[in-house]
Structure 1
Amino acid sequence: MNATADESRPATGLKPLSRSRLYEQVAEQIMEWVRENGLKAGDKLRPERELAVSLGVSRATVRQALVALEVIGVVAVRHGDGAILADGSGSAKVLEAIRAHARRIPDVIDARDALETKMAALAATRRTADDLARIDDALEVMAKDIEEGGRGLSGDELFHAAVTAAAHSSLLAGMMAEISDLILETRIESLGQPGRPADSVIAHRRIADAIRDGDASGAATAMHDHVEMVSDVALLRD
C-alpha cells in the first residue's frame, strides 16, 4: 500500500496562496528601489514614464501602484511635482497595507451609501441659501483643479462636507466624521481612476441640482449612483 498522502484530498492546515496582482508587484518594486537608493521623506520618485519603461509595464499600472501607495500614506502625488516619498518607515509591509485597504473598501462604500444617500435627501428639504452657495463653491473648486490637471481631491471633500452640512443632522454628521479617514482612502482611490475626476464633477452637479430643486428622491438617487460609481476601482478588479 502506498504510504503517500492521497493527492485528491485537500491538505488540512494549509491555505491557498494569494496571487499578487501586477500593480501590487509594481508597488513592491518601487519601494524596493526606494530602500536600495536610501530615499527619505520628501524625496521625489522617478517619473511614471521612467518607472513604466524600467519595469516593463504600462503607465496605467504604474499609476495604479502609486495610487495604492498614496492611499496607505507612503507617497504623496502632487500635481506638477509627481510622486513624493511621504513615509518610508513602513515600506517593508506595503503589500499587507495595500491589501488591508482593499478589504476595507466594500464596507466603507456601504457606509457611505447609507449615510450620504440619506443626507442628500435631507439636504434637499433643509438646505438654506448659504448651504447652496457652499455647494456651488465646492463644485467650482473641484472643476478648476481638474481643468488645471489636478484630481479635484480638495473640491470633492468640500462638496461632500457641504452636502453633509446642508442636511442639518448633527448625528449623521458625527457618523460621517467617525469614518472620515476611511472615506479619504476611497476618495484618493476613486479619483485616481482614469477619467474619474471629470465624471465625479458631473455626478456632483446632478446631486446639487436635485438639492437646489428640493427633490429629495432625486438627490438620494443621484448620491446613490455617485457612491456606486466611486466603488468601481481597479483595486477591487481581478
Structure 2
Amino acid sequence: MPIQAIQNRRLYQQIADQLLEAIERGEYRPGSTLPPERELAKLLNVSRTSVREALLALEIRGAVRVRVGSGVEVLAPSPDTGGATPAAVGTDIGWEPDPELDAELGPPVTLDIPPFALLEARALVEPEAAALAAGNASDAQLAAIRAAYEHNVRDNREGSKTHPGDRLFHIRIAEASGNPAYHALLRHLLGHRYSEMFRRMQALYTPDDMPHRSEREHQAILDALEARDAARARKAMRAHLDSVIGIFTRA
C-alpha cells in the first residue's frame, strides 16, 4: 500500500480516501480487516483520532464495518443500497425532537464538524465559561442551569439517544458566563444536529455507564456554580470534557 504523509486540513477525509483507494485496488479484500488504528496512525504520520474519524467516514460510505474490539472489516459493495452495504445502512442513531430545546434554539440543522475537533473546541471554551458563570450568573440563570441538569437526569432514566438536557445544561452555562461570544459559540456547537460521523461514534463507543458518569460530572459542575466557586467550576468542567474526550479516544 503506497503511503503518503498527511499534512493538510480535513485529515480524516484524506486518510479515508487513501484507504478506500487501497480497498478498490484489492489490497484489502471483502472479509479481510484493515490494520489497527495505531498502526495506520504510524504509517500515515497522523493522530489516532484522525484515523478513527476516517474509519467512521468509511463505514458511513459502506466500505467497512467497524467492530469494536474486533477490528475493521472490509465490506463488499452492495448495488441494492447505492454502494453502501446493508450493515452500514440504518446505523444512524437518529435525532429526538425536544420542544424545550427547539423553543430555545430553533429547529436543528446538521453541523458538519469532525467529532474530535468539536470536542477539542469545547474543551478550550467551556471551562472558562463555567468559571465566569460562577461569578456572573443570576439566580434565575442558576435555576435554569439546574432545570437543565434535572432534564438530563430524566433523559438518562428514559434512555434518550441525544440527551437534550445535557446540551441545554452546557448552553445555559455559557449564557450565564456573561460573555456573548461564549454563548453564541456553544449555542451553535450544541444547538444543532451532530454530523452522522459524530453520532456513529457515539453509537459505537459510548459505554453503558457514560450517561450516569456524565450525570455525576454535571452535578460537580452545578455544585461549584451554585457555590459561586469559579476555580472549582473551571476544574469540574475541564475534568468532565477531558473524560468525554478520553472515552472516545481510548475506546
Q: Does the residue aligned with 1:26 lie in a helix, a strand or coil? A: strand
Out of 15, 35, 49, the residue aligned to residue 3 of structure 2 is: 15
Q: Is contact 1:138–1:159 with CA below 8 Å preserved after alignment? A: yes
Q: Does the residue aligned with 1:231 lie in a helix, a strand or coil? A: helix
CA 1:32–1:169: 2 relative to 1, 3 Å: farther
**Match status 1:76 vs 2:115:** no
CA distance in 2, matches of 1:204, 1:187: 21
Q: How does 1:109-124 map to 2 (within 5 A)?
A: 109-124=119-134
CA 1:135–1:34: 2 relative to 1, 3 Å: farther
Q: 1:139 Cα deviation (Å)?
A: 1.2
Q: For each residue in 1:31-90, what CA deviation from the matched residue of structure 2 results, as whole angstroms up to 9, or x when unmatched?
A: 959718x9xxxxxx9xxxxx7xxxxxxxxxx9xx97xx53xxxx5276xxxxxxxxxxxx
Q: Is contact 2:95–2:161 with CA below 8 Å preserved after alignment? A: no
AA of the residue aligned to 1:209: D
Q: How does 1:119-134 map to 2 (within 5 A)?
A: 119-134=129-144
CA distance in 1, matches of 2:35, 2:160: 30
> Once superposed, what is the RMSD of the aligned Cα atoms?
4.0
Q: Is contact 2:129–2:177 with CA below 8 Å preserved after alignment? A: yes
CA distance in 2, matches of 1:106, 1:122: 25
Give the structure 2 partner of residue 226 of structure 1: 240
Out of 46, 61, 65, the residue aligned to residue 26 of structure 1 is: 65
Q: 1:166 Cα deviation (Å)?
A: 1.0
Q: Is contact 2:221–2:237 with CA below 8 Å preserved after alignment? A: yes
Q: Is contact 1:153–1:187 with CA below 8 Å preserved after alignment? A: no
Out of 223, 234, 243, the residue aligned to residue 209 of structure 1 is: 223
Q: Is contact 2:130–2:230 with CA below 8 Å preserved after alignment? A: yes
Q: Indicate the structure (1 or 2) with the bigger Cα radius of gyration.
A: 1
Comparing 214-223 with 165-174, greater Cα deviation is found at 165-174
Q: Does the residue aligned with 2:94 lie in a helix, a strand or coil? A: strand
Q: 1:106 Cα deviation (Å)?
A: 3.2
Q: Is contact 2:167–2:191 with CA below 8 Å preserved after alignment? A: no
Q: Is contact 1:146–1:197 with CA below 8 Å preserved after alignment? A: yes
AA of the residue aligned to 1:76: G
Give the structure 1 partner of residue 152 of structure 2: 142
Q: For each residue in 1:112-158, what CA deviation from the matched residue of structure 2 results, as whole angstroms up to 9, or x when unmatched?
A: 11110110000000111111111111111111121122246111111
CA distance in 2, matches of 1:139, 1:145: 10
Percent of paired sites with the same residue? 23
CA 1:159–1:178: 2 relative to 1, 3 Å: closer
Q: Does the residue aligned with 2:246 lie in a helix, a strand or coil? A: coil
Q: 1:164 Cα deviation (Å)?
A: 1.0
**Match status 1:172 vs 2:182:** yes
Normalising by structure 2, report the TM-score: 0.55
Comparing 132-141 with 218-227, greater Cα deviation is found at 132-141
CA distance in 1, matches of 2:121, 2:133: 18
CA distance in 2, matches of 1:158, 1:34: 40
Q: 1:172 Cα deviation (Å)?
A: 1.9
5+ residue gaps, structure 2, are 5-17, 20-33, 37-54, 67-73, 97-111
Q: Is contact 1:151–1:197 with CA below 8 Å preserved after alignment? A: no
Q: Does the residue aligned with 2:65 lie in a helix, a strand or coil? A: helix
Q: 1:175 Cα deviation (Å)?
A: 2.8
Normalising by structure 1, report the TM-score: 0.58
Instruction: Say how many residue pairs are matched.
Output: 173
